[in-house]
């Protein structure tokens, strides 16, 4: 009888390797290899780093463009004024296109195009403030057209500010050298031209919705 009871009893089955408390085996592919998470995180970090490098590189090129335009505009203005003072001042005007366009040396204590001659110090301070604003704005510059526009403004402002600081009658009161004299129009210089061209370009870019950081918006 005891022999028969042992025969009909269900033998104990050992747990299968890898089985949990419910007896279900753990899938083999659920185990993450050592170091795989670190590799993925490193890849994400590298991708973000590459993107940041690309943005920084683009901004760096725009800064180079801005300061290149500014230096060229400034040097052209400085050289032209030096030649005018040396060769044209206290001499008769030089006719380029009859009476329509002449070169005539004029000392202007006012703003661009001989306006506001009684506010020389005010215009000097404004020019210095414009230069500071442009330099601060340059840090987030990502647009080449904006770089050109701001470069023209910066070069022109520096050109006239140099006259305000170093020409007679004294610091902050110096008269700007103007020499381009069209018929029926105020006498101006290359710095004035750069400022006006830069301002016009900024207006066009603003109407087109292009921001200095390269983004385009639509009102």
Alpha carbon 146 to its chain's center: 7
Catalytic residue from among 38, 44, 163, 192: 192
Q: Examine the residue annotation and report whether 192 is marked as an active-site residue of this protein.
A: yes
- Read off the pLDDT band of 127 (50, 70, 90): confident
Is the omega angle on the peptide bond into residue 122 within 30 degrees of 0, that is, cis?
A: no
Q: Is 207 exposed, middle or buried (0-12, 13-18, 19+ CB in 10 A)?
A: exposed
Query: What residues have CB less than 8 Å from 67, skipping those under 6 apart?
Result: 151, 154
Distance CA 10, CA 113 (A): 110
Query: What residues have CB less than 8 Å from 58, skipping those under 6 apart?
Result: 142, 214
The pTM is what? Answer: 0.70
pLDDT tens sequence across 21-64: 444 444 444 444 454 455 444 455 444 445 444 445 667 899 99
Interhelix angle 120-137/144-166, rounded to 10 degrees, is 150
pLDDT tens sequence across 158-203: 999 999 899 988 887 888 999 999 998 889 999 999 999 999 999 9
The confidence score (pLDDT) of residue 161 equals 92
Catalytic residue from among 77, 178, 213, 219: 178
The confidence score (pLDDT) of residue 206 equals 92
pLDDT tens sequence across 133-144: 998 888 889 999
């Amino acid at each position: 009888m005891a022999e028969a009871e042992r025969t009909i009893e269900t033998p104990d089955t050992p747990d299968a390797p890898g089985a949990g408390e419910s007896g279900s085996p753990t899938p083999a592919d659920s185990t993450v290899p050592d170091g795989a998470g670190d590799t993925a995180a490193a890849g994400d970090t590298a991708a973000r780093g590459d993107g940041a490098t690309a943005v920084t590189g683009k901004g760096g090129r725009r800064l180079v463009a801005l300061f290149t335009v500014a230096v060229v505009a400034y040097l052209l203005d400085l050289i032209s004024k030096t030649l005018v003072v040396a060769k044209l001042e206290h001499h008769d005007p030089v006719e380029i296109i009859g009476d329509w366009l002449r070169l005539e040396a004029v000392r202007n204590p006012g703003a661009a195009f001989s306006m506001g001659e009684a506010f020389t110090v005010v215009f000097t301070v404004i020019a210095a403030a414009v230069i500071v604003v442009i330099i601060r704005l340059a840090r987030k510059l990502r647009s080449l057209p904006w770089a050109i526009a701001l470069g023209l403004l910066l070069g022109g402002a520096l050109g006239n500010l140099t006259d305000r600081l170093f020409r007679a009658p004294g610091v902050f009161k110096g008269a700007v050298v103007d020499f381009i004299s069209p018929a029926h129009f105020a006498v101006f210089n290359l710095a004035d031209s750069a400022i006006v061209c830069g301002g016009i370009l900024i207006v066009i870019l603003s109407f087109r919705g292009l921001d200095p950081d390269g983004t385009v918006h639509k009102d």
